A and B are shown apart, each in its own frame.
Chain A
C-alpha cells in the first residue's frame, strides 16, 4: 500500500501524466510508437537501474525514476530498430550511475540518451511536430495540472524556461514584422511541452539554488533558440539541455542550495505545507 507521505513524491503524478500522454499519443494521434520499443525501453531501464543499484551499493532499489525516464524516452524517441531502443534505455540509466559530480548525476537521463542516439545513428530521431496543435490545449492543461498537484515544487525551472523561450520567439516575430500567429504556433508544440515539464524540470539535474535554476533555465532557452532559429536545426531544446548540463556543477559551486530528494520534496520548507 502506498502511504500518504509517499504520495507527496511528485514522481507518482509524473508517471500518471506521462502515461496519459502516451495513451493519447498511441490511441488518438497514431504516432507510430512501436509497442516492442516501449517494452524494450521499460525492461532495459529497470534492469540497468537494478544493476546500478547493486553495483553502487545503494540501500534500496527505486524503480520510479527509471519508469519516468522510460516513459519520456518512449514518448520522444522514434526508431524502427528495437536494439536502438535498448541502447537508449541503457545509456539513459547508465549515465545516472556513471557520470556524477559532487554526488549528483550531470545529465538528464532521457536527454543524454536521445542526443547520443541522434548523433551516433541515422536511424533514431525525435518527431517534434507529431502532437499537432489541436491537442495542445488538453496537453497544456495536463502539464499545468501536474504543477498544481505537486504544489509547484521547483517549478521555477519550467516557468523560467517557458517565459524565456516565449519571449525570444515573440521578440523574433516583432523584429521580423511577422504576425503573432507564428510564435503562437511555434509554442504549440507537444515535444516542447514535454521538454519543459518533464525534462528540464528534473530537480536532480538542475542547480540546487532557486536563483541558479532560473538562470540555468534562461540559458537553456537562449541556447535552444540559437540552435533552432539561428542555426536552423531541429530539436533545439533537447540539444541545448545537453550542452548546458555541464554548467550545473559550476552553478552549484557558486550558489549554495539544498540537494533535492524525491521522497522529501519539501524537506527544506516543510513548515508551510503541513496539513496537506
Chain B
C-alpha cells in the first residue's frame, strides 16, 4: 500500500500476569485461613532425563503458619533443593510476555522519510529431633530436614499416604479435602514429597519481604507437571504459566492439545490503554473455543535474541540460575554484542487455565524438533494525524477501511460488542465506514 510508511515503532509490554500465588503442590496452613492456589509460574529446564524445576511463589499472608507440600517425580536428596531468585523469573516473564507494537503512519504527502525508534518498555509488576521422633511413630520417615535460605525443608518418605497425611494433621496443618486420594496415587506412581515451611527467623535475618522461589533438580523420565494437587485447595479455575527451557525446540503437551493464540493481529488504537483487558478477554474466548481443554502457546523462541524485544534476553548467568546446566557460566559471548548471548536454549511459554473437570490428568510434555519462532504480537497502527499539504481523501478512506476491519477482528477475538468498539474508534475524517453486516436503515437519520 503506497500510503504505508512506517515511521515510529514503539513497544509496550503490558504484563498480563495475575498474582502468582501457588506452587504445583498444595498449601497447608495451621491457622484456619483460606489458602487458594490461583496462579502459578513454573520454569522447567529439561534435557534428556534431567530436569530443574523452579516454582515461583508470591504467597501473601502469615508465613509462620504456612507450609507447602510438593510432589517430585523421584526420590531427592538435600543438595537437589535450592532457593532461587525471584527477579530471574520476573525477567523471563517479561521477555516472553505477549507484546503490543505501535506503528505510526507516515505523512501520506511525504512518502519516503524514514526514522526508526524503538522503545522497549518492559513494565515489570514488577525443633527437628522431636519432629523426627513423632514422624517415625506415624510410619513416616523424615529422611532429611534442613534449612535452605528462608525455608525449612523436610524430605518425607511415606510408605503410604495415610502416614504423610496423619503427620501433617498431627503437626496442626489443615489438609485440603481429597488430598489423600491424590497423594496415594502419586505414591503409587513412585513420586515423593517434600514439605517446605518458612523459617521466620531465617527470613528476617535474610531480610526478604517475600518468599523466594524453590528449585529442585532431579533425574527422571517423567517430563511432567503434577497439577492434580493444585486443584484441591483452589477456588474455581487456576492459571498456570510454564516456561520450558530446552536445548532443541518447542515443548508441547502430549495429553492435551497445545494451541497457538491468534497473533500478529492489528488492533484498534484504544487497545493500548486496555491491553491487559484485551488479552484477558481474548484468552478467555480462545479457552472457551477449545472447550476449556487446551494448553496455549504464548511464546516460542531461541533465547539468543528477540524481535521485538519485550525485555532483553536472559544472560547466561541468569539461565544458569534457572538451572540451564548445559551452558557455560561465562556464556558464549558474541564479540559484536555487549550482552552475553545464550546458546542452545529454546524457550516455550505455555499458559493453561485448568480445573479438575477439564484437566483430569497431570500435564505430560515432550520436546519437539520445532524451532520456529512464535510470539504473541499485537499491532497498533496510528493513522497520520499531522497537517496535510495535499488531498488525503483516498488515504482517509483506506484508514477507515482498516479501522473497521480491526474493529470486527477485535470483536471476534474477544467477544466484545462491535458497537462499543466502534464508539471508541476515532474514524479517519470523522466518518464511520459502512459495514457489510449493518442493516441499511441504521444510517438514514444519524
Interface, chain A (partner B; CB < 8 A): 29-30, 32, 78-80, 121-125, 127-134, 175-179, 181-182, 184-186, 189, 231-234
Contact = CB atoms under 8 A, between A and B. Distances in A.
B222 interface: yes
Contacts of B370: 32, 78, 80, 125
Consensus secondary structure, chain A interface: loop
Q: Which of A125, A133, A182, A184 has the most CB of B within 10 A?
A: A125
A131 B257 contact: yes
Nearest to A79: B369
A29 B260 CA distance: 11
Given A78-B370, A122-B248, A176-B184, A134 B258 contact: no
Contact of B256 (A29, A121, A129): A129
A124 B369 contact: yes
B222 A134 contact: no
B78 to A, nearest CB: 25
Interface in B232-287: 248-249, 252-260
A47 to B, nearest CB: 25
Contacts of B371: 80, 123
Given A79-B369, A232-B222, A234-B366, A130 B188 contact: no
A127 B368 contact: yes
B181 A177 contact: yes
A127 B360 contact: no
A129 B221 contact: no
A52 B223 CA distance: 41
B188 A176 contact: yes
Contacts, number: 85
Interface in B178-208: 181, 184-185, 188-189
A232 B291 CA distance: 27
A229 to B, nearest CB: 8
Contacts of B290: 132, 134
B254 A232 contact: no
B388 interface: no
Nearest to A132: B257
Contacts of A189: 255
B306 interface: no
Interface of B: 181, 184-185, 188-189, 220-224, 248-249, 252-260, 290-291, 293-294, 360-361, 364, 366, 368-372
Contact of A129 (B184, B220, B253): B253
A121 B369 contact: yes
A129 B258 contact: yes
B181 A181 contact: no
Contact of A177 (B184, B248, B252, B293): B184
Nearest to B220: A232
Interface centre among B223, B249, B361 (most CB of A within 10 A): B361
A115 B370 CA distance: 17
A79 B366 CA distance: 14
A128 B185 contact: no
Q: Which 5 A-B pairs have the closest CB atoms?
A: A123-B369, A132-B257, A181-B360, A176-B185, A232-B221
A255 B129 CA distance: 66
Contacts of B294: 132
Contact of B252 (A127, A184, A185): A127
Given A132-B257, A182-B361, 14 more contacts: A78-B368, A78-B370, A127-B368, A128-B255, A129-B257, A129-B258, A131-B257, A132-B256, A132-B294, A176-B185, A185-B255, A185-B360, A231-B221, A232-B223
Contacts of B181: 177-178
Nearest to A181: B360
A185 B293 CA distance: 11
Contact of B293 (A30, A78, A133, A184): A133
Contacts of B220: 232
Nearest to B290: A132
Contacts of B259: 30
A129 B258 CA distance: 7
A234 B291 contact: no
Contacts of B254: 127-129, 234
Contacts of B248: 122-123
A80 B369 contact: yes
A58 B257 CA distance: 44
A100 to B, nearest CB: 31
A156 B117 CA distance: 67
A176 B189 contact: yes
A178 B185 contact: yes
Contacts of A177: 181, 184-185, 188
Nearest to B253: A129
Contacts of B258: 127, 129-130
Contacts of A231: 221
B368 A125 contact: yes
A133 B292 CA distance: 11
B344 to A, nearest CB: 12
A134 B291 contact: yes
Contacts of A129: 252-258
